[in-house]
Amino acid sequence: MELSAEQNRTLLHIAASVIRVCVGGKAGFFLEFDASIRPFGCFVTLHQKQTHALRGCVGRMGTNDPLFQLVRSAAASALQDPRFTNNPIVLSELNNLVLEISLLSPLTRKPNPLAFDPQSEGILLQFENRHGLFLPQVARDTGWTREQLLDRLCQEKMGLPAVAWRDPRAVLQTFTCTIIGPEPMDQLGVDNSANPNPAQ
């Protein structure tokens, strides 16, 4: 998906505004965006600036919602990533976070679970009514092989044995991403000052 630099910046500001409001910051601002742009899916990812440690990554796919609505929804959901239920993002942390938006292409079914390029393709594995997804950034950041990606996907995202992907009933689909960012939250007009009356 081809977007202009201005559109990319607007989407980053939309996501940052939603995140700010959700953690009790100042009221967000409304930015207009072309409602006719409708990607297959969208994920919003938050990392710590210094360590690159993940702080949230959630998205939606397979919808027909306008892009700006998908970004809003994914940004709010990234703050509720179940992996961080006991350590949620707080207002004072925003200055130390980096924001990234991933826009997903439609899915392509592969003939077998190893038929993908880990450096350029994200993966969606389906098996026994469960599914798990890794964005293509995961392989680039970790250096994991195809087998390692699939092992970790089964264990960490699907709650299955690491070897479940080897079952002939497992179905792999791939996608590519248009990545917007990463951009430090403190460069996106987010006010991280202490709020004496945070939203409950």
Q: Domain range for residue 182?
A: 7-105+178-194
Asked whether residue 2 is domain-assigned, the answer is: no
Asked whether residue 39 is domain-assigned, the answer is: yes
Q: Are residues 115 and 36 in the same domain?
A: no
**What pLDDT does 67 receive?**
92
Supply the mean pLDDT for the chain: 89
Query: Does the structure show a pLDDT above 80 at 193?
Result: no
**pLDDT tens column, 166-184:** 999 999 999 999 999 999 9
With CA atoms as reference, report the closest residue to 101 among 130, 71, 126, 136.
Answer: 71
Q: Are residues 123 and 43 in the same domain?
A: no
**pLDDT tens column, 96-125:** 999 999 999 999 999 999 999 999 999 999
Query: Does the structure show a pLDDT above 50 at 195?
Result: no
Tokens found for residue 9: 């910046």
Asked whether residue 161 is domain-assigned, the answer is: yes
User: Within a 10 A sphere around the Cβ of 73, how many other Cβ atoms?
Assistant: 18
Asked whether residue 14 is domain-assigned, the answer is: yes
CB within 8 A of 129, min separation 6: which ones?
none
C-beta separation of 149 from 70 below 8 A: no
Going by pLDDT thresholds of 50, 70 and 90, the confidence category of residue 28 is low
Q: Are residues 31 and 61 in the same domain?
A: yes
**What pLDDT does 26 receive?**
67
State the average pLDDT over residues 46-73.
92
Asked whether residue 142 is domain-assigned, the answer is: yes
Going by pLDDT thresholds of 50, 70 and 90, the confidence category of residue 34 is confident
Lowest-pLDDT range of 5-9, 14-18, 89-93, 193-197: 193-197
Q: Are residues 100 and 111 in the same domain?
A: no
Q: Are residues 92 and 114 in the same domain?
A: no
For the domain that residue 127 is a member of, what is the CATH number? 3.30.1490.150
Going by pLDDT thresholds of 50, 70 and 90, the confidence category of residue 88 is very high
Q: Are residues 22 and 79 in the same domain?
A: yes
Query: Does the structure show a pLDDT above 70 at 56?
Result: yes
DSSP state letters, the chain = ----HHHHHHHHHHHHHHHHHHTT-S--------TT---SEEEEEEEETTT--EEEEEEEES----HHHHHHHHHHHHTT-GGGTTS---GGGGGGEEEEEEEEPPPEE-SSTT-S-TTT-EEEEEETTEEEEE-HHHHHHH---HHHHHHHIIIIIT-S-GGGGGSTT-EEEEE-EEEEEEEEGGGTT---S--SS---
